[in-house]
Chains A and B, each alone.
Chain A
Amino acid sequence: MPEVIKFTIDGKECQAEAGQTIYEAAVANGVYIPVLCHFEGLKPVGSCRICSVRVNGRWMASCTQPVTPGLVIENDVPEVEEYRKAIIEMLFVEGNHFCPACEKSGNCELQALAYRYQIMVPQFPYLFPKKEIEAFPKFLLEHNRCVQCQRCLRAVQTKDGKKIFALKNRSGRVRINVDKKLAARLTEEEAQKAMEVCPVGAILKKEVGFRLPIGKRKFDHRPIGSEIEEKK
């Protein structure tokens, strides 16, 4: 019998299994915690910090923090939501995001989060960084839109575990670096997967674009997170 862990999120009594992260446990209890770098089935890296919650006054990323008995978690409270909103805004000013011209618009998780958090104008000044677009045989890498969530890094590797996508540089210069030789050997399926795990329009498979008409895109009708909240 798996051990049952009892904890609360915003006063709501929840149950979890040992080994679950706070995020996983929240989803299982019908509580939405926003995530961006997290992707089901991939090892969490805690890079975007949007899923931060406050536990007994301490901030922690719910995608990496294991749930333990008796945790008192603050999630949908003004300060936590305000800080998350700030992170989303930081991502917008740190890159160059022009939604109307982006193939991912309507399917983009960053855009969907911005809508959910009702961001009109970011509180931060735009940094207008100079970034490039790289082309590989099967896909394009649009650095202007990359949020460095490391999903591609984790999802697509060679069979012998070599990294096709890796981080390069540090500080504000950090970026996704593609191994050209290995990228050239990607199968159609792998390229498709890389594009699908990308939460934004940074990885685009060549020769397809604007495939879904407006109205049929992922976030056209319901805000991101609705599917979790409706399970309640």
Chain B
Amino acid sequence: MDYKKVLPKYRKDRTRLIEILKEIQSAEGFISDKAVQAVADNLGLSRAEVEGVISFYHFLSDRPLGKYVVHLNNSITAEMAGRERVARTLEQETDCRFGQTSADGLVTLLETSCIGMNDQEPAALINGVVFTGLTPEKVKKIVAWMRQGKLVQDMVEETGDGANSHELVRAMFRNNIRKTGPVVFGDYSTGQALTRALSLTPEAVIDEVKKANLLGRGGAGFPTGLKWEFCRKEKGEQHFVICNADEGEPGTFKDRVILTERPQMVFEGMAIAGYAVGARLGLLYLRHEYTYLRRYLEHVLQKMREQGWLGQNIAGRGFAFDIEIKMGAGAYICGEESALIESAEGKRGEPRDRPPFPVQKGYLNLPSTVNNVETLATATQILARGAGWFRSMGTQVSAGTKVLSVSGDCDRPGIYEVEYGLAVRELLDMVGAKDTLAVQVGGPSGNCISEAGFGRKICFSDLATGGSIIIFNKSRDLLAVVRNFLEFFIEESCGWCVPCRAGNVLLKKKFEKIASGRGTAQDLKEIEAWGKIIKSMSRCGLGQTSPNPVLTTLANFNDLYQSLINKEADFIPEFDLNRAVAEACALTGRKFQEEHDHA
């Protein structure tokens, strides 16, 4: 690749660093030393800085990869759906281990965090193409195709429902929309809401959203109208609307389905937000895992421009607004709004200190409102149908509906748009869940509830959720669930602050001690205390919620932990002498004799 020819089109724009690196990687398979130097020189950065960005993201690589790169999802529902057998088959068929490239350079096997296919696991990305419902048999077929040199796109034999079958998408999976509601999946005609918004003043638009009591759908629940108002009031030469399409919370896939079936509603919401806050440009920050949607979304944007819903003179009212798509590169933390902004600026996705908040100093240090996909779609419907209509649904505090992504042990996993205030038990009936042991509400960072909590309601004042609902039946090992979640947070911590970077590793170590039966009552006290330290001292929402898998199971499944600990012993050392000796004996071929009296 001739970097001198490729780089000029980016006009030395540092905010496009990730885009540049992705183009190089897709042409050359990886980002070589030479490429790093060329990019650094072009953008006026040090090599160290460019290396810092590459090494931050899952999907950028500074070492050569195979012709086919498999990223097998490692979320808990994948494990439940037989991921282990799929992984072993992949290793056998390719003669390669995870984390490595096969000797013939054909395949690289890697793991990745949730790719938004939790209802159709085990799933993997192969050269960016999504494969769902994998089985050992399918893996054998795919590897055979790889040996024949077949294009990955051509391995998709059947396409899914709705826009998944669109020629620009051609995805093999289904939307699995099981229950539509009146808001996100309700009646909708593009432009109606925007036309009404443009007939009002920006302040009146904000007022309407405030009256509707729209709270952020990404999980944090911040009032959207208030956010827009703060953003509007900030002075800056330009304002931005950013749509957060980086749903990375394991078990969440509703934004994928909304973007597949209702992209116009989301884009219209961005234009409405743009009008409200005084922005001319909107950015859709799309997670790397959803790259397959990009061409389709560009096509939708182009159509909306042609129809006059985006562009220089929207609806003939002189309002100018357009939308660009910015791609992520694989990092859960980028769902956090300030980390997302850093990433959109082409940097490592490390959260910022607040204040200043993004509404004050966001993208390019200019006032920016960052809203979730579903929030923006919902705002469109509020403008189309009015705040009164919206408030007639849900509860007093939590108005409207919520789109839930349901996965795990149930007959009908998929997408459910429900009114706020629905009890967990009602949801379990709706999705066909039987013998339920636990429900993970809000993903790993949320709450793991037991039967005693099934009467609780899904809403901001009780069980808040960004949309992830994972169900575990009584045959499941809850410890495996907690372990999977803890590993997820350890991997996805950006590493900036000490409590999150080191604390989560230590928390997992303590958890393993307890899970292995070597814990005492003191260990239970300590694991709870450590969890609280991490939550209190961490810099951003990741560390402030990462101990939740332990803390909420400790609270709701205390009997399980009590049954694991040694009630006689006051203290059991971290170091297991017998195990260490047994290991050494095995290595040296000696006979192992257990020692009993070390006390």
A binds B: yes
Residue of B nearest to A162 (CB): B46
User: In the complex, which of the residues B56, B490, B537 contacts A83, with contact meaning CB atoms closer than 8 Å?
Assistant: B537
Q: Are B55 and A162 neighbours in the complex by a CB distance under 8 Å?
A: no
Between A and B, 26 residue pairs with Cβ closer than 8 Å are A44-B353, A45-B353, A45-B496, A49-B538, A61-B353, A87-B499, A94-B502, A123-B526, A124-B530, A125-B509, A125-B574, A127-B505, A127-B506, A148-B501, A166-B48, A167-B495, A169-B55, A170-B55, A170-B348, A170-B495, A171-B495, A172-B495, A172-B505, A173-B495, A174-B496, A177-B52
Residues of A within 8 A of B45 (CB): 162-163
Q: Are A49 and B492 neighbours in the complex by a CB distance under 8 Å?
A: no
Would you give the 0/1 interface string for A144-164, flagging 1 where the beta carbon is closer than 8 Å to chain B? Answer: 000110000000001010111
Question: What's the least CB distance linking B328 to chain A, in Å?
Answer: 14
Q: Are A94 and B498 neighbours in the complex by a CB distance under 8 Å?
A: yes
Beyond A47-B496, A83-B537, A93-B506, is A158–B46 a contact (Cβ under 8 Å)?
A: yes
Residues of A within 8 A of B537 (CB): 49, 52, 59, 83, 86-87
Whole-angstrom distance between the alpha carbons of A49 and B52 in the complex? 22
B44, B48, B52, B536 interface centre (most CB from chain A within 10 Å): B48
B45, B46, B353, B502 interface centre (most CB from chain A within 10 Å): B46
Residue of A nearest to B492 (CB): A171
Question: What's the least CB distance linking A72 to chain B, in Å?
Answer: 17
Beyond A47-B498, A123-B526, A171-B493, is A165–B48 a contact (Cβ under 8 Å)?
A: yes
Q: Are A174 and B506 neighbours in the complex by a CB distance under 8 Å?
A: no
Beyond A49-B539, A170-B493, is A91–B502 a contact (Cβ under 8 Å)?
A: yes
Would you give the 0/1 interface string for A169-201, flagging 1 where the beta carbon is closer than 8 Å to chain B? Answer: 111111001111110000000000000000000
The interface residues of chain B, by DSSP majority, are classed as: helix
B303 close to chain A: CB less than 8 A: no
B168 close to chain A: CB less than 8 A: no
Total inter-chain residue pairs, C-beta < 8 Å: 132
Beyond A47-B496, A90-B503, A123-B526, is A168–B52 a contact (Cβ under 8 Å)?
A: yes
Residues of A within 8 A of B46 (CB): 158, 162-164, 166, 179, 182
A111 close to chain B: CB less than 8 A: no
Residue of A nearest to B538 (CB): A49
Residues of B within 8 A of A123 (CB): 526
B494 close to chain A: CB less than 8 A: yes
B355 close to chain A: CB less than 8 A: yes
Whole-angstrom distance between the alpha carbons of A149 and B404 in the complex? 40
Question: What's the least CB distance linking A18 to chain B, in Å?
Answer: 13
Q: Are B55 and A90 neighbours in the complex by a CB distance under 8 Å?
A: no
Whole-angstrom distance between the alpha carbons of A161 and B496 in the complex? 21
Would you give the 0/1 interface string for B339-366, flagging 1 where the beta carbon is closer than 8 Å to chain A? Answer: 0000000001010010100000000000
Question: What's the least CB distance linking A48 to chain B, in Å?
Answer: 5
A64 close to chain B: CB less than 8 A: yes
Residue of B nearest to A44 (CB): B353
Q: Are B501 and A171 neighbours in the complex by a CB distance under 8 Å?
A: yes
Whole-angstrom distance between the alpha carbons of A73 and B162 in the complex? 55
Question: What's the least CB distance linking B160 to chain A, in Å?
Answer: 33
Interface size class of A (residues with CB under 8 A): 35 or more
A69 close to chain B: CB less than 8 A: no
Residues of B within 8 A of A34 (CB): none
Q: Are B502 and A160 neighbours in the complex by a CB distance under 8 Å?
A: no
Q: Are A171 and B490 neighbours in the complex by a CB distance under 8 Å?
A: yes
A contact residues vs B (CB 8 Å cutoff): 44-50, 52, 59, 61, 64, 66, 83, 86-87, 90-91, 93-94, 123-125, 127, 147-148, 158, 160, 162-174, 177-182
Whole-angstrom distance between the alpha carbons of A46 and B348 in the complex? 16
Further 6 A-B residue pairs, CB within 8 A, beyond A47-B539, A125-B574, A148-B501: A47-B496, A48-B498, A94-B501, A148-B496, A166-B48, A171-B490
Whole-angstrom distance between the alpha carbons of A140 and B335 in the complex? 37
A45, A162, A171 interface centre (most CB from chain B within 10 Å): A171
B491 close to chain A: CB less than 8 A: yes
Residues of B within 8 A of A86 (CB): 530, 533, 537
Number of interface residues of B (CB under 8 A): 39
Q: Are A172 and B355 neighbours in the complex by a CB distance under 8 Å?
A: no
Residue of B nearest to A173 (CB): B495
Q: Are A169 and B44 neighbours in the complex by a CB distance under 8 Å?
A: no
Residues of A within 8 A of B533 (CB): 83, 86-87
Q: Are A47 and B497 neighbours in the complex by a CB distance under 8 Å?
A: yes
User: In the complex, which of the residues B51, B55, B498, B539 contacts A91, with contact meaning CB atoms closer than 8 Å?
Assistant: B498
Whole-angstrom distance between the alpha carbons of A147 and B498 in the complex? 8
Whole-angstrom distance between the alpha carbons of A198 and B356 in the complex? 28
Which residues of chain B in 48-69 are interfacial with respect to chain A, using CB atoms and an 8 Å cutoff?
Answer: 48-49, 51-52, 55-56
Which residues of chain B in 19-53 are interfacial with respect to chain A, using CB atoms and an 8 Å cutoff?
Answer: 44-49, 51-52
User: In the complex, which of the residues B44, B47, B498, B501 contacts A179, with contact meaning CB atoms closer than 8 Å?
Assistant: B47
Residues of B within 8 A of A45 (CB): 353, 496
Q: Are B503 and A170 neighbours in the complex by a CB distance under 8 Å?
A: no
List the 5 closest A-B pairs by CB distance, nearest first. A174-B495, A179-B48, A166-B48, A94-B502, A162-B46
Q: Are B51 and A166 neighbours in the complex by a CB distance under 8 Å?
A: yes
Residues of A within 8 A of B265 (CB): none
Whole-angstrom distance between the alpha carbons of A167 and B53 in the complex? 9
Which residues of chain B in 489-539 are interfacial with respect to chain A, using CB atoms and an 8 Å cutoff?
Answer: 490-499, 501-503, 505-506, 509, 526, 530, 533, 536-539
B301 close to chain A: CB less than 8 A: no
Beyond A167-B348, A170-B55, is A181–B47 a contact (Cβ under 8 Å)?
A: yes
Whole-angstrom distance between the alpha carbons of A163 and B55 in the complex? 16
User: In the complex, which of the residues B55, B350, B539, B574 contacts A61, with contact meaning CB atoms closer than 8 Å?
Assistant: B539
Beyond A46-B353, A87-B537, A168-B48, is A148–B503 a contact (Cβ under 8 Å)?
A: no
B45, B331, B350, B502 interface centre (most CB from chain A within 10 Å): B502
Beyond A170-B55, A172-B502, A181-B47, is A148–B495 a contact (Cβ under 8 Å)?
A: yes
Whole-angstrom distance between the alpha carbons of A179 and B492 in the complex? 25
Whole-angstrom distance between the alpha carbons of A165 and B46 in the complex? 9
Residues of B within 8 A of A174 (CB): 494-496, 501
Q: Are A166 and B495 neighbours in the complex by a CB distance under 8 Å?
A: no
User: In the complex, which of the residues A50, A166, A169 contacts B49, with contact meaning CB atoms closer than 8 Å?
Assistant: A166
Whole-angstrom distance between the alpha carbons of A147 and B574 in the complex? 24
Residues of A within 8 A of B52 (CB): 163, 166-168, 177
Q: Are A124 and B498 neighbours in the complex by a CB distance under 8 Å?
A: no
Question: What's the least CB distance linking A151 to chain B, in Å?
Answer: 14
Residues of A within 8 A of B331 (CB): 170
Residues of A within 8 A of B539 (CB): 46-47, 49, 61
Beyond A46-B539, A83-B533, A163-B49, is A171–B491 a contact (Cβ under 8 Å)?
A: yes
